[in-house]
Structure 1
Amino acid sequence: MEFKHVLYEVKDQVAYITLNNPAKRNPLNIETDAELEACLDLCDYDDNVRMLVIRGAGGNFCGGGDLNAMKARIDQGIRGTRPVCRALGQTIIRLRNVKKPTLAWIEGAIAGAGIALALACDFTLIDESSKATFAFVNIGFIPDSGSAYFLAKAVGTVRATDLLMSGRVFTGREGADWGMFTAAFPKEELEAGVQKYIKKYSNGPTVAYANVKTLLNRIQYSEYSLVSQSELELQGECELTHDFAEAVTAFLEKRKPDYQGR
Structure 2
Amino acid sequence: MSNTTTDTTADAVNAPVLSKLEDGVAHITLNRPDQANALDDATINALAAAINQACDDTGTRVVLLRAIGKTFCAGGDIRMFETRLDELAELLDNLLVPLNKALVRLQTSGLPVVSAINGPVGGGGIGIALCADFVLASDTMKLRCGYSAIGLTPDAGSSWFLAKRTGTVYAKQLFFMNTPLDAQACLQKGIVDAVYPAEQLLDEATALAKQLAAAPKHVMQRTKFLVDSAGKLSFEKHLDAERRYMVASGGEAASHEGIKAFIEKRKAVFNNA
TM-score normalized by structure 2?
0.74
Residue 220 of structure 1 deviates from its aligned partner by: 7.0
**Secondary structure, counterpart of 1:187 in structure 2:** coil
The reply on whether 1:10 has 2:21 as its aligned counterpart is: yes
- Listed as ranges, the gaps of 5+ residues in structure 1 are 223-262
* AA partner of residue 177 (structure 1): Q
Moved more, 79-88 or 200-209: 79-88
* AA partner of residue 85 (structure 1): L
Q: Write out the 4+ residue segments of structure 1 that deviate beyond 6 Å after TM superposition.
A: none
The reply on whether 1:144 has 2:139 as its aligned counterpart is: no
Q: Which of 165, 176, 187 pairs up with 1:176?
A: 187
Measured on the aligned residues, the alpha-carbon RMSD in Å equals 2.2
Q: 1:26 to 1:221 in 2, by over 3 A?
A: farther
**Secondary structure, counterpart of 1:104 in structure 2:** strand
Q: Which of 211, 224, 236 pairs up with 1:213?
A: 224
Q: Which of 57, 60, 84 pairs up with 2:71?
A: 60
The reply on whether 1:95 has 2:106 as its aligned counterpart is: yes
Bigger RCO (CA 8 Å, 6+ sep) = 1
Distance in 1 (CA, whole Å) between partners of 2:230 and 2:93 is 28
Residue 158 of structure 1 deviates from its aligned partner by: 1.9
**Secondary structure, counterpart of 1:184 in structure 2:** strand
* AA partner of residue 50 (structure 1): R
Q: Which has the higher helix share?
A: 1
Q: 1:44 to 1:82 in 2, by over 3 A?
A: closer
The reply on whether 1:167 has 2:178 as its aligned counterpart is: yes
Aligned match of 1:127: 138
* AA partner of residue 52 (structure 1): V
**Secondary structure, counterpart of 1:194 in structure 2:** helix
Identity rate, percent = 29
Aligned match of 1:25: 36
* AA partner of residue 160 (structure 1): A
**Secondary structure, counterpart of 1:209 in structure 2:** helix
Distance in 1 (CA, whole Å) between partners of 2:202 and 2:41 is 30
Q: Larger Cα Rg: Structure 1 or Structure 2?
A: 2
* AA partner of residue 199 (structure 1): K
Aligned match of 2:209: 198
Q: 1:77 to 1:43 in 2, by over 3 A?
A: closer
Distance in 2 (CA, whole Å) between partners of 1:132 and 1:106 is 10
Residue 107 of structure 1 deviates from its aligned partner by: 0.5
TM-score normalized by structure 1?
0.77
Aligned match of 1:82: 93
User: Is 1:37–1:94's contact at 8 Å kept on the other side of the alignment?
Assistant: no
Distance in 2 (CA, whole Å) between partners of 1:221 and 1:127 is 34
The reply on whether 1:187 has 2:208 as its aligned counterpart is: no
**Secondary structure, counterpart of 1:135 in structure 2:** coil
**Secondary structure, counterpart of 2:84 in structure 1:** helix
* AA partner of residue 212 (structure 2): Y
Distance in 1 (CA, whole Å) between partners of 2:191 and 2:231 is 15
Give the count of matched residue pairs. Answer: 221
Distance in 1 (CA, whole Å) between partners of 2:133 and 2:231 is 13
- Listed as ranges, the gaps of 5+ residues in structure 2 are 1-7, 234-273
* AA partner of residue 46 (structure 1): D
* AA partner of residue 53 (structure 2): L
User: Is 1:30–1:88's contact at 8 Å kept on the other side of the alignment?
Assistant: no
Which residues of 2 match residues 220-239 of structure 1 at below 5 A? none
